[in-house]
Amino acid sequence: MALTYLEAGRRALAEAMAADKRVVALGEDLGRGGVFGQYKGMQEQFGPGRIIDTPISEAAIMGTAVGMALVGRRPVVEMRFSDFALCAVDELINQAAKARYMFGGQGRVPVVVRQPIGMWRSSAAQHSQSLEAWYAHMPGLAVVCPATPADNYGLLKAALATDDPVVYMEHKDLWGLEGELDAAPVPLGKARIARPGRDATIVTWSKTVHVALAAAAELDRNGVSAEVVDLRTLWPWDKETVFASVRRTGRLLVAHEAVQVAGFGAEIAAVVAETLDDALKAPVRRLGAPRIPVAYAPPLEDRARVGAADIAAAVRALVATTRRAAAAE
């Protein structure tokens, strides 16, 4: 069955709520469907006691959800935009992420925090950020970034079944993307090979998966075969799939929409460089956005985008570096 990325997430949540009365969702304007329509019709289906409209206070929403989770509920928190979730960082980072450790496992916080990320229709600097690296840095949190409707269904189901806090980051520019759902479960921490290749590995996640696939298609027309690895989950991340791919190709580019400086791509690049030094045919490269605010004006917004042409050029440079070294020998 073909569904949009948005519809797939809604179906996953509805199925979880139908199966388990402990699952509730809370956030601003959920009764009228949420800001993007992710909850359309759900309050009519499950009632206002489970699809809960809240005041405009992210700290209050998150704090309430953490308390609910500690006493046995399984709340889903809707933050509308990942940027707005910064108002609830204390409740998420200092409370939810640390409760299991600080209470010796006696308190678990099974909360799923939905944070739409990324650039979308000139939304400007306060509504366009990709902040996944912030949460990957925090012990106690899982971080998920689905790229397809099938994964938005499967990964949200997996997140809802997790007994610890999950930061679940859906890309706003993927809401309308259509695709077939897969009944097979999608576990957290397992990457997928989105496109096989032999000359270079591109590791990425979220919307940049589709950008990387477009770049790989362009490269293929010019005789360069790039393998695209969709990481799916940033924490835990699937080192073995990435390592196996890099061992096959000998080259790695990590690409993401988030700012390159201190982005999660640096972690992947460092771990691969430290672990697979003998297998690498060229230095690891990473590609991310410049360290600038995202502008409202489309031409300036485009300056902050990592495009297919950028990824293709970086892969060509990787392959050319190896060829130059071989020619010098």
**Catalytic machinery residues:** 127
| Gyration radius of the chain's alpha carbons | 20
Cβ of 240: how many Cβ atoms within 10 Å? 9
